[in-house]
Amino acid sequence: MAISRLNEREYYNKIYGGWLGKNIGGTLGAPMEGKKELLNLTYYPSLPDGPLPNDDLDLQLVWLHALEQYGGRITAAELGQEWVEHVFFPYDEYGYALANLRRGLVAPVAGWFNNPFTHCMGSPIRSEIWAMVTPGSPELAAYYAYQDAIVDHAGGEGVYGEMFFAAIESAAFADSDRDRLIRTGLRYIPAQCRTAQAVQDLLAWHAEGKNWLEARELILERHGSSNFTDAPQNIAFTILGWLYGEDFGDAILKAVNCGYDTDCTGATLGAILGIIHGADQLPEYWVKPVGDGVAVSPPIKGFPAPRTLDELTERTVRIGKRVAAEWNVPLLIDRDAATCWAASGESYMEEDCDAERLWHLSPTANVYCLPKGTTRNLGLELTVDYGLQGPSIGRMQCKTIAYRLVNRSEKSWEGVLALETPDGWSPPEEMRFSLQPGAGTEGNWIVQSGPEAQPVYPLSAQIVRLHDGHVWSAETVDLRLVAAAEWSIGAGEGGEAKPFVFPGSCVRFGETAQPGQGGSYRAATTMIVPSDRNIRIITATEAPIRAWLNGRLIIDSPAKQPFMPAFHRAPAKQLAELTVPRGEHLLEIEAAQGDNPPEVYVLAVSQRTTSSPGSFYAYSDVLFIAKNGG
């Protein structure tokens, strides 16, 4: 295979340009974030003295640290650990994923389960780091982006958005043609996904001669969402700025002036253009106010973050060299090399990086490579699939967990597979297996829980290898199930209450009885709080809703509200903040019937003021159990 060459100074200039463009676009758009109307900015809304902190860049500083800690073969497992240790954002998908990770779940299940924000912008905004350490290898950049995105967006458009941008940005080190780069990005996401359809439609409208304002309206009409962070519309706005922009400033202004998730659209487009042109070609008019600084949000902590763009760029360059070596990428990065790309940015491929294979991986299943700690799938592969109900279980419930064991090695494997369960549960029988290279076996574990509720139930898959009929070695894979939410649901006043178990935070009245008097649904549960807490109780739904705690009305929201089950930005009418003592508390809700049976996310999170680690994080140890009238 021909070797590409990249001059190290040019590599530095393009990386610096990408980070600088990210800061410029993010600082331009951050003050306007969430505004859905057409904007009319012509420059920074307020003249900054250095860049504004932004999660668009913050999270990528954590990923740089992760690459430095774990190396170039990093996966979603290590990135998930970084979230728990260094990221304390409660925002939307971040908050739900963090709650799952803290319970011991791992990606992709941790990024999918009980997460209503998988289609949002939290992952597309952090694509640049993967492109910068994989210059000219869009397939490898898309692979990294997938590993990143499934931590908090598994099964959603957020995954495709990050793969799309990462592929574009990686290819931009070797190619500056806008239309060709967009086509490159589209090759790494499914043609039928909403993100691809929004971009394809935008390209068609641009080709038809629609102006940028007409294109914006068509994006909102065909692909819009009431949630300003929804990925397809914002990705289309980013590309709109690129298509219609006359220069760097005009491009990022048009993207931001579309409104919605403005810090994300401006920052990503600024990064793309910065990589293409390099830092030395970005206009001083835009560069001077942000300078060389790196601003880090307070909830990002616990590691040595770069203080300047120069330090950030130098560290990124070092990791880029390391990644090329670890993946055997045919790329030489050298100070004396003259840049020469072997094949227009498509110079590398490995089976693990195949995008189409990644698209078909289920978000309900985790895959474990054995022996643990291996960076290549060359031993045993265990897949554990929790099904559409996810990794949850109620008291005295049966649950089926599917497994598949495949021998990826070049030697035969003989052994025993068993599942260990908590005390008081009914464990499944162990399974004896003998697998030739490439062969697999599959089956189901059926477990029954005990009568005691716990926030988390630890299980473990035990794989014992036999040689000559005797035990040779053993591997343990830690698994987790989490407590389901139990509710008693009745139809109107005097209606008979029936027990229902929901896998996550959402009470889905469409799965229960019909509404009774007045067209209302009623539900009750016992909220078990393990210690005295300052709690924000949220009942997020579109429907009018009321809630009582121990008989006292705490939420009265008589009108329809935007559906926003976020820990930090739920509608004020649908939340109550109060001090709740340790013990059991009767929680009741009443939701009005609308065109469809309502869905209500019932959440218990911290309040804004906390001593540690941050605001509005989920109280993952609070239980919802149906008993004592609940």
- Read off the tokens for 477: 């894979």
**DSSP 3-state of 293:** strand
Backbone phi, psi, residue 361, to 5°: -75, 135
The C-alpha angle 465, 471, 473, rounded to 5 degrees, equals 50
Burial class of residue 490, CB neighbours in 10 A (0-12, 13-18, 19+): middle
- Read off the tokens for 306: 């770069």
List residues bridging with 602 in a β-sheet.
Answer: 539
- Read off the tokens for 60: 């990528």
CA-based torsion, 245, 237, 195, 174: positive or negative: positive
List residues bridging with 334 in a β-sheet.
Answer: 7
Kindly give the pairing relationship between strand 498-502 and strand 331-334.
unpaired
> From the CB of residue 358, how many other CB atoms can be counted at a distance below 10 Å?
18
**DSSP 3-state of 89:** coil
**DSSP 3-state of 536:** strand
Kindly give the pairing relationship between strand 552-557 and strand 498-502.
unpaired
Instruction: Give dist(CA 594, CA 542) in Å, integer.
Output: 9
Instruction: Give dist(CA 91, CA 89) in Å, integer.
Output: 6
User: Which whole-number Å values give the CA distances from 506 to 19, 116, 356, 503, 624, in the listed order?
Assistant: 39, 9, 32, 8, 12
Residue showing tokens 């330090």: 311
List residues bridging with 555 in a β-sheet.
Answer: 547
Instruction: Check if the beta carbon of residue 365 is closer than 8 Å to that of residue 386.
Output: yes
51-80 per-residue burial string, b: 16 or more CB within 10 A, e: under 16: bbbbbbbbbbbbbbbbbeebebebbbbbbb
Instruction: Give dist(CA 150, CA 61) in Å, integer.
Output: 18
Helices (H), 224-381: 231-244, 248-257, 262-277, 284-287, 309-326, 355-359
List residues bridging with 466 in a β-sheet.
Answer: 471
Contacting residues for 595 by C-beta, under 8 A, at least 6 apart = none
Instruction: Give dist(CA 173, CA 128) in Å, integer.
Output: 12
Amino acid at 118: T
Kindly give the pairing relationship between strand 331-334 and strand 365-370.
unpaired
Instruction: Give dist(CA 35, CA 51) in Å, integer.
Output: 21
261 is in an annotated binding site: yes
DSSP at 51: P
Instruction: Check if the beta carbon of residue 345 is closer than 8 Å to that of residue 136.
Output: yes
354 is in an annotated binding site: no
The C-alpha angle 147, 150, 155, rounded to 5 degrees, equals 135
Instruction: Give dist(CA 205, CA 318) in Å, integer.
Output: 42
Instruction: Give dist(CA 553, CA 407) in Å, integer.
Output: 58
Structural element, H or E, at residue 480: strand 470-483
Q: Which residues are annotated as a binding site for Mg(2+)?
A: 261, 263
Q: Which residues are annotated as a binding site?
A: 261, 263
